[in-house]
């Protein structure tokens, strides 16, 4: 269990990954995004999660560079993630997509590069490309996103390197119990996207009651629940006050009973696409 904002978990290849990061999905290139990234890093965040399909890698990169200068932080203290989009899955096209992401971000390397979605028939060639990038030291860790257990088993039946991370939708309405157990047994780190269910859990009566009892916000209760499950989490916010709020998770602890109560909110309900039925 991480104890502070800059604490890390160790991936199976020995790379350290911050337990908490900033997500930037659905934020356009521009000042708002640059400021959000700068605000997060100034506040102590060290991990930023973007993707080629978000169309915002340039501003993420600019925010990172400015924040490094402002705060005297070197690149090796940051953990930057991006993802190869479905249209680029394939061996050569994935290698090219990696270079294009680096170019837009203005970075020499990524800490984590993920296959964004498990497009059947395409993810194995893309994985070979990620393995090559990893072996050549171009990326510190490689992983997947939106992979179900069967996708992971299929990939690992031929892969030479086991994914270090699987980033999936994970929140109190979608607790991914089997996937969490499976990835823990495999040494694959689970990472929660849409941890706040894009804001849809903020009025949940149980979470409101707990928030009042612990003297925290609903968002903080949920994010703390992620961390106590050993799940890396990347809440998105463009507001400095919420960026700070989402990182103030280390002065309280949910009891085992309350962890169980939150687990029991599961409805296998998704806010995003189902990895077994998506058409993009």
Nearest approach, Cβ of residue 38 and ligand NDP (Å): 15
SS3 of 29, please? coil
Please, which of residues 160-199 interact with ligand NDP by CB under 6 A? 167, 193-199
* Residue with the two structure tokens 């490309």: 129
In the set 47, 82, 145, 176, which binds ligand NDP (CB under 6 A)? 145
Catalytic residues: 54
In the complex with ligand NDP, the residue whose CB is nearer, 105 or 219, is: 219
Give the count of beta carbons closer than 10 Å to the beta carbon of residue 22. 27
**β-bridge mates for residue 232, sequence order:** 191
Contact string (CB under 6 A) for ligand NDP, positions 20-39, x = contact: ---xxx--------------
SS3 of 233, please? strand
H-state helical runs in 7-50:
31-43
Pull the structure tokens for residue 28. Answer: 């356009």
Kind and range of the H or E element at 220? helix 218-228
Chain residue whose CB lies nearest ligand NDP = 23
Nearest approach, Cβ of residue 248 and ligand NDP (Å): 10
In the complex with ligand NDP, the residue whose CB is nearer, 24 or 102, is: 24
Contact string (CB under 6 A) for ligand NDP, positions 63-102, x = contact: ----------------------------------------
Separation of alpha carbons 151 and 275, rounded Å: 9
SS3 of 258, please? helix
* Residue ranges binding ligand NDP (CB under 6 A): 23-25, 49, 116, 145-146, 167, 193-199, 202, 217, 219, 234-239, 242, 245-246, 272
């Amino acid at each position: 269990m991480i104890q502070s904002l800059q604490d890390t978990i160790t991936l199976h290849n020995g790379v350290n990954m911050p337990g908490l990061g900033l997500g930037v999905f659905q934020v356009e290139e521009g000042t708002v995004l640059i400021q959000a990234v700068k605000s997060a890093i100034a506040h102590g965040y060290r991990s930023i999660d973007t993707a080629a399909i978000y169309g915002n890698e340039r501003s993420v990169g600019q925010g990172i560079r400015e924040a490094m200068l402002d705060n005297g932080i070197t690149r090796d203290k940051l953990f930057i993630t991006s993802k190869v989009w479905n249209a680029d899955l394939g061996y050569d096209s994935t290698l090219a997509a990696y270079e294009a992401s680096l170019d837009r971000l203005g970075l020499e390397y990524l800490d984590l590069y993920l296959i964004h979605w498990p497009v059947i028939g395409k993810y194995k060639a893309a994985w070979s490309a990620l393995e090559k990038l990893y072996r050549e030291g171009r990326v510190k860790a490689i992983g997947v996103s939106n992979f179900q257990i069967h996708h992971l088993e299929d990939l690992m039946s031929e892969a030479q390197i086991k994914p270090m991370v699987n980033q999936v939708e994970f929140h109190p309405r979608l607790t991914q119990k089997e996937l969490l157990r499976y990835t823990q047994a495999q040494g694959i780190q689970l990472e929660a996207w849409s941890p706040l269910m894009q804001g849809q859990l903020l009025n949940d009566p149980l979470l409101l009651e707990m928030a009042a009892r612990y003297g925290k916000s609903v968002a903080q209760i949920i994010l703390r629940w992620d961390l106590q499950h050993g799940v890396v989490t990347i809440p998105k916010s463009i507001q400095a006050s919420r960026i700070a709020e989402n990182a103030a998770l280390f002065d309280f602890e949910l009891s085992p009973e309350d962890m169980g109560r939150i687990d029991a909110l599961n409805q296998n309900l998704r806010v995003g696409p189902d990895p077994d039925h998506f058409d993009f």
